[in-house]
Amino acid sequence: MTTQRTGSVSQGDALDPDNASWRLGLGTLLQGLNSSMIAVAIGSISLSFPDASAMPWLVSALYFTAAVGSPTFGHLSDLFGAKRIYDIGLAITLMASILGPLSPNIWILILARALLGLGTSAQSPAAIAMVIHLAKTRHTSSSAAVGVISLLGQVSAAIGPLIGGIVIVAFGWHWIFWINIPLIVNAYLWSRKVPSTSAKDFDVSDASTSTRTARRHGMFPSIDPCGIALFCVALIALIYALLGSSTPLAILGLCVSSICFALFYCQERRAPRPFIDFAFISSHPTVTYVYVRTILVNIAFYIVFYGIPQWLESRQGLNAAQAGLLLFPNFLAGVITTRLASSRLTSFTPPQLRRIGSLLLGGSALMSMLLFHFGMHPLILFATFLLGTPSGFNNMGNQLELNRTVRPQQLGQATGMFRTSQFIGAAISTPLVFHILQINSTVSGGDLLMIAIVAVCIIVCMLDLLHHHLQESRHSSVSKKR
């Protein structure tokens, strides 16, 4: 044991956190790439598996498992070492990448997508845990290293539709899975020199078998499997209700979802280490507001992300590569506005950033409706760019509000739930896009998508006003008590 630890330290001495972040970031590329390539693959996949009702599940499956996997793998990284969890994630992703193109039917393909979400959700929390651990051992800052990991995830999501479109046109949709295999092997080879973290709860080397067993059952934080199962069933039932082709099915889905969410709430209130800490959320009303707002703005973002490519392919006659190219400015705008919002933190408060994001959300949708009517590709490019501008301000405004509301020791937990709320928004958007594009109307699909975004914007503005009113009421009541 001592020899192994010495070897691990010597490996750590050979790497600084920034170097390690680039090595580990090659694995975090996989989630952004796989979540975005599917946006331009749905049309091609539907030709192989013509079951239109299953298509939303193809998209949502990844977000279901990612919403559960990210915080769960974060806990497991503490329990068993981050490097081990990172490698397990790569192995699951490899299995999914082989299963996907060999799928005999759409439901096996959906299973492969779910495994992709599970496998790729391990890389980011494990990679961040390793670079933070490495930075602490070298007494340096981990901020730049964590930034590199986040940047690589954003870049892969930005180029995913373009790469996916080119691959689909050249080789077929199966290759959005096959392309993962060399990336997985590359990520594994580059990450081998990065030392792992060790379990935080006890020192394995000097513990007897009985002591290790006792500590494993008595001291390890629970990953709350019962809560996770209830959360999954509740969310799946909700999506089923939103996808319901008839009123009885929708009502059945809503009933099951409501019951499971109620049971989930009761389970989490008494769990020693809950998957979602409702006690924490209820004691921080602003945190609740941030999570709900994050779900809403991500619904709007993914309506664009998944709706526009499908509309361009089915109604405008574009192929996957062309649709991916026209979607690229959307991510570019998000990167630009994120940088702009970050550079103006001294000039704008988080509420001001959110107000700018809300105005851009509604304004860009209305402007895009006008641009879509011309049907010219340069104008569609400009429209997708406009539709990407709200994301930077909304994300920064939400994240900064969260950061300034919770205590530093609670930030990890709060950020994990923030990420889960983003995935929930993405999952809910897919049945909405499905129904919007199925509407037989004289109004074009592109316009209907923009109308949906305007509706979400109105709800976001109402939520912002309600939160502002409640904050003023709390402040006035505190002032009166003084």
DSSP string, 409-447: GGHHHHHHHHHHHHHHHHHHHHHHHHHHHH---SS-HHH
| CATH number belonging to the domain at 276-482, selected among 1.25.10.10, 1.20.1250.20, 1.10.510.10, 3.30.1280.10 | 1.20.1250.20
Q: Average model confidence (pLDDT) for the chain?
A: 82
How far is Cα 103 from Cα 91, in angstroms, rounded to an integer?
18
Judge whether 81 and 195 are in contact, CB under 8 Å: no
CATH number at 7-196: 1.20.1250.20
Q: How confident is the model at residue 81 (pLDDT cuts 50, 70, 90)?
A: confident
What pLDDT digit, counting tens, does each position of 409-425 carry?
A: 666 667 778 888 888 89
Residue 62: CB atoms within 10 A of its CB come to: 28
Contacts of 166 (CB under 8 A, 6+ apart): 321, 324
Q: What is the mean pLDDT of residues 327-344?
A: 82
How far is Cα 104 from Cα 92, in angstroms, rounded to an integer?
20
Q: What is the pLDDT of residue 218?
A: 45
What pLDDT digit, counting tens, does each position of 25-37 carry?
A: 888 889 888 988 9
Q: How confident is the model at residue 368 (pLDDT cuts 50, 70, 90)?
A: very high
Q: Which two tokens stand for residue 482?
A: 């003084």
Of 63-77, 162-176, 356-370, 451-465, minimum mean pLDDT range: 63-77
pTM, to two decimals = 0.79
